[in-house]
Structure 1
């Protein structure tokens, strides 16, 4: 009798577990992407370089994401996402962080939005990477340099983040805890974005502030996308940043650039961009992007502080071999003067040509 009761109890437990699992899901996902690229003026001798490296838009990554239905339109969610170098197999960061891109847990409600906790992308990065930048915040220096000052602040540790959708209004807010005893604000961050869709027009405004040992980095952005047809979009925006941390001068430099004699305590950048995406045929997509930045009070090669202008143009062609696999080719040109001379390893201009292959899983 005891054995019978135990068997029935085990069966009921198994059935209840199956019911619970049926309302939960865990997904393994990712993408692998690499390219072969030729770049002019790649060192101080102005030599050309051919190298295999990251993809033009999407660094290789894999992750796990899960959801559990709690009832009443509410779900528990989590996400763990790693970034790595496909061509070397190494983690794509210098501090050996396993889940560099995301590591969070939270609750999501169909009506009230989503609240998550952990290491996460900032609202600024969400909006620019997903919607408003024509290159989705690209990976080559020559088509992502305009974002380099905010680059160290695109992800935030120990953060709480809210995301909500109310009709055509999309809002995101984040606060990152500094964790410094005796100072709530030190090493903290906060960011806010609000975007609104009206017919073919989508516009976004955002602000982010990061504290680094008591010094501030701020960025304001205004962006827009206009959809002419289902296959043709025009994108444009303005970014204004002010850096008191001294990091922007160094982070703006590309690999091989000369060592700076000093950094600015108050660098200011005003950047503008314009671009378009065009789905020419079902398998073929073209992207055009142009970036311009005027820097003030920035570090120069001579050790003083001054102004400078940098600009770049990129053309990207992507051809889908299937729903998950595509080949692409890209050409870009970049040129700078004034303070931006400190960001080039050789001459003040570069041309890059690359071909690549991307697969999603």
Structure 2
């Protein structure tokens, strides 16, 4: 009787094994990161304007967010379709932890960090369709000691941040196709294209067409990446405008310290404006944490030539695998050079300097 009663159980178990196998090959994960802190800031975002001229940067003390990294939460999933092919998806949303609001700003959409579905093959690489972080932004944060922080990283501040930002098309492209190659002899190639789909409003950030590539080489302690992007702008005020940006970056980990460097050129058409941006950085292990230092300089050639210099010094201390704190001091100096006189074709030299010092403490937690 015992043997007879076990037969239905064995049959039910046998029938359930295929379903269990399928479940074991599929996964969905909830994750994210919160960055928030305190600081006293004096920087180009806090302008003092008089007579149509920026005279100074006002000092602001506040509970601030996203100085080390922009807070976000996300869902990612994977389903194994065969031995070499998987279906993947990813949805990531920015948020503001100091107010609890979604997005980086009020008009930001829900999943603007990333939103895609795709197919991944170990042999042939990965194809993704949706919204993707640009190659330029990825290269910018991988090769500087302050990462993707809009508050402290000279590279991010000079290329993407606020009033200083020169690059068009945001740090992510909507309606884009993204291909990532498998690693071959240390090399990885990634290409991306965004059609824009005639979205010239705020949601499309005026981008009507964009293409980019990222070629990386990694061999032990050495890493280097070349990135280029071409963005055409379609906003009513800038019809026919286009912009080409290139960045060459490299790093070497000596063990006692890690050096990084970046060189970026931005060419705007038909305005003829150009930017040349450099960054050198170092991360030195000290105690349980690291001393971080980064210097960046942005030289702008336009009708009002300027040079912006940023020096950031900090210490990052991990409290656990998921939580760390950082203290940072930053000095920025902006020099206004030669500019066109308002009522003549001649040039005049303003020779004005504006400087500001910022200090802050940040807490970052990953989940």
**TM-score when scaled to structure 2?**
0.80
Structure 2 unaligned blocks of 5 or more = 1-8, 49-55, 160-164, 200-206, 235-239, 340-351
Secondary structure class of the residue paired with 1:150:
coil
Q: Hey, which of these two has a bigger chunk of strand by percent?
A: 2
Q: 1:197 deviation in Å?
A: 2.3
Residues in 1 aligned to 2:177 and 2:58: alpha-carbon distance in whole angstroms? 46
Residues in 1 aligned to 2:73 and 2:291: alpha-carbon distance in whole angstroms? 26
* Residue 218 of structure 1: aligned partner: 244
Q: Is the Cα–Cα contact under 8 Å of residues 70 and 149 in structure 2 kept in the other structure?
A: no
Residue 292, structure 1, aligned to residue 297, structure 2: yes
Larger Cα-atom Rg: 2
Secondary structure class of the residue paired with 1:93:
coil
* Residue 285 of structure 2: aligned partner: 279
* Residue 234 of structure 1: aligned partner: 259
Q: 1:338 aligns with which of 336, 339, 345?
A: 336
Residues in 2 aligned to 1:8 and 1:340: alpha-carbon distance in whole angstroms? 85
1:157-184 Cα offsets, whole Å, 9 max, x none, are: 0101011221310111100112239xxx
Secondary structure class of the residue paired with 1:189:
strand
1:45-79 Cα offsets, whole Å, 9 max, x none, are: 75421111223221111000011111122211110
1:241-284 Cα offsets, whole Å, 9 max, x none, are: 01238xxxxxxxxxxxxxxxxxxx23100011100112223x31
Secondary structure class of the residue paired with 2:276:
strand
Aligned residues: 319
From the superposition, tell whether residues 152 and 315 of structure 1 become closer, same or farther in structure 2 (CA, over 3 Å): farther
Q: Is the Cα–Cα contact under 8 Å of residues 209 and 231 in structure 2 kept in the other structure?
A: yes
Structure 1 unaligned blocks of 5 or more = 1-6, 246-264, 298-304
Q: 1:167 aligns with which of 185, 189, 195?
A: 185
Residue 100, structure 1, aligned to residue 145, structure 2: no
Q: Within 5 Å, give how 1:47-126 maps onto structure 2.
A: 47-91=58-102, 92-126=104-138
Residues in 2 aligned to 1:123 and 1:117: alpha-carbon distance in whole angstroms? 15
Q: Is the Cα–Cα contact under 8 Å of residues 190 and 209 in structure 1 kept in the other structure?
A: yes
Q: 2:32 aligns with which of 27, 30, 50?
A: 30
Q: 1:151 deviation in Å?
A: 6.1
**TM-score when scaled to structure 1?**
0.81
Q: Is the Cα–Cα contact under 8 Å of residues 46 and 347 in structure 1 kept in the other structure?
A: no
Deviates more, 1:192-201 or 1:320-329: 192-201
* Residue 204 of structure 1: aligned partner: 225
Q: Is the Cα–Cα contact under 8 Å of residues 54 and 139 in structure 1 kept in the other structure?
A: no
Secondary structure class of the residue paired with 1:127:
helix
